[in-house]
Amino acid sequence: MHTCWYRQLWDFLRSREGFGTLLIAAFSAIALGVVPNMLQKFQDSGWFYLAVFLVATVIVILGWILRRERGVGVVIQMFPLLPTETARLEALLAASASNHTSTLFLQPKLLHPGGEPLTPTARADLITNLIDARVAEYARNGREGDITLYPLAQMRDGFILGQRLAQDRAKTFTVMHVSANHHRVLPAVNLGGHLTQPLSPAQQVLLDNCLKQPAAPVVPIAHPGCPREHRHRLAFIVRLSRTDTMTDDARHVAKTGQTRLPNGRHTGYIFDKDHPDTSTSPCGAHVIVETSTDYLPETRETFEAVTTHLYRTWADARDKWKAQSHSPDIETRLFIMAPLPIAVALGWLMSRAHAEVAHHEFGVTRQSTPGEGTS
C-alpha cells in the first residue's frame, strides 16, 4: 500500500530523528539571523542578542543529539515464550527501539532454518552471522555505533553465545538485562578487557554486600572417589539467585555423575535431551560461589564486579586444581543459576578454555520420584 508523501513527512517529524531535524532547521535560522543584529546592536543591546544566540545554539545541539547515530540493538529470543513471559520480550523490543537507530529482532523461527533445530553452537554461529550482516549494512550507509544485545536465552545458550562473540574482539558489545519483577531493561555488562582486571576497592564493597565471602582463598574441594580418568574435570558451581536446592544438586551431579538424587528426585541437569536420566562423567573437584541475598542488585556496577570476581576465582581454582591433580589440561563444567548477562560474559571471558555449561531444565525437577503418583 502506497503512503502519501504528506503522511510520510508527518510520521518523520513525529519521530526522534524528525524532531531533531526540525529543531536544527528552525533554531539554526534563528541563531544565524541573530548574528547580523548582534554586530549592529552590540553597542547598546549586545547582551540580549548574545543570550538569544546562545539559547538557539544550545537547542541546535539538542537537535543533533536527537539525530545522532545510536548504534544497533539486537533482540535475541532463543526459545518459545510462555504467555506469562511475553511482557519481558515486549520490554526488550521497546527498549531497543527507544535506544537505537536500528533494531534487529532474532526470533525462534529465524533460528530454525527450514524448521530444523540447530545445535547450540550452530545457533550461536547463525546469530553472530546475522549480527555481522546487519552491522555491515549499517556501516555501508555511513553509520557507526556500538552493538547492544537484548537476549532471552537459557544459561547454556547464553554462555555459548558469549564464547562465539569473543571471536570478534574488534566489535564492542553491551549486554542488557531485563528485570523479572518489573520488566525494566538496563545495561548489565560491557564485554571488554576491564572484566579481567583486579577488583577495585569499590567493587570489593559491592561483593561483600551480595556474596558469601569465604574465610580463606577459594580452594578446589577434591572428590576422592572420582576415577583417575575424570580427575581433570573441575566443577564450577555458581548460584546467584534464590534456588534452594541448586548448590546441593549441582554438587551431587559433579561428585557422582548421576542426574538423580538417592531419594529419586531429578536434579534437573540433562546431558542427553532424549534420555534425561542419562548419567555423565563425574568431576575431580568443585568450587562454589553463592549469593548471600535472594537476588543481585540490578546495576551494571554490581554485575560487572561479580563477573570479574567469578572469572578470577575460576582462573585461580583452575590453576590450583591443575597443579594438585597433575593434569595437563583442565576441563571446566559450569553449573550456573545467574542473571543471563553474567552467563554471556563468562562465555566471552572463558572462550579460550575447555569449558561447558551443564544444561538445566526446571520442568524435569517437577517429575515425580519412582513409586509416587503425579501431583
User: Taking the complete model, does pTM exceed 0.85, yes or no?
Assistant: no
Q: Classify residue 375: in a domain, yes or no.
A: no
Same domain, 159 and 179: yes
The total of other beta-carbon atoms located within 10 Å of residue 331's CB is 17
Q: Please indicate, yes or no, whether residues 141 and 235 belong to a single structural domain of this protein.
A: no
Range of the domain at 277: 196-365
> Are 138 and 261 within one domain?
no
Count of domains for the chain: 3
DSSP-based three-state secondary structure for 185 = strand
Residue whose grid cell is 547454556: 156
pLDDT tens, 240-294? 988 889 999 999 999 999 999 999 999 999 998 888 889 999 999 999 999 998 8
| 372 lies in some domain | no
> Is there a domain that residue 311 lies in?
yes
pLDDT at 368 over 50: no
Reported as a single tens digit per residue, the pLDDT across 1-42 is 344 544 555 555 566 555 655 555 555 555 555 555 554 555
> Which CATH number does the domain housing residue 137 bear?
3.40.50
Residues 287 and 140 grouped into a single domain: no
Q: What percent of the chain has pLDDT over 90?
A: 55
Instruction: Pick the range with the lowest mean pLDDT from 62-66, 124-128, 207-211, 362-366.
Output: 62-66
Instruction: Identify the pLDDT of residue 275.
Output: 84
| Helix residue ranges per DSSP H, the chain | 5-14, 16-67, 86-99, 120-140, 155-165, 201-210, 246-256, 300-325, 340-349, 362-365
**Residue-level pLDDT at 301:** 96
Q: Mean of the per-residue pLDDT values for the chain?
A: 83
Looking at the structure, do residues 156 and 290 belong to the same domain, yes or no? no
Residues 318 and 215 in one domain: yes
pLDDT tens for residues 219-231? 999 999 999 999 9
Residues 266 and 287 in one domain: yes
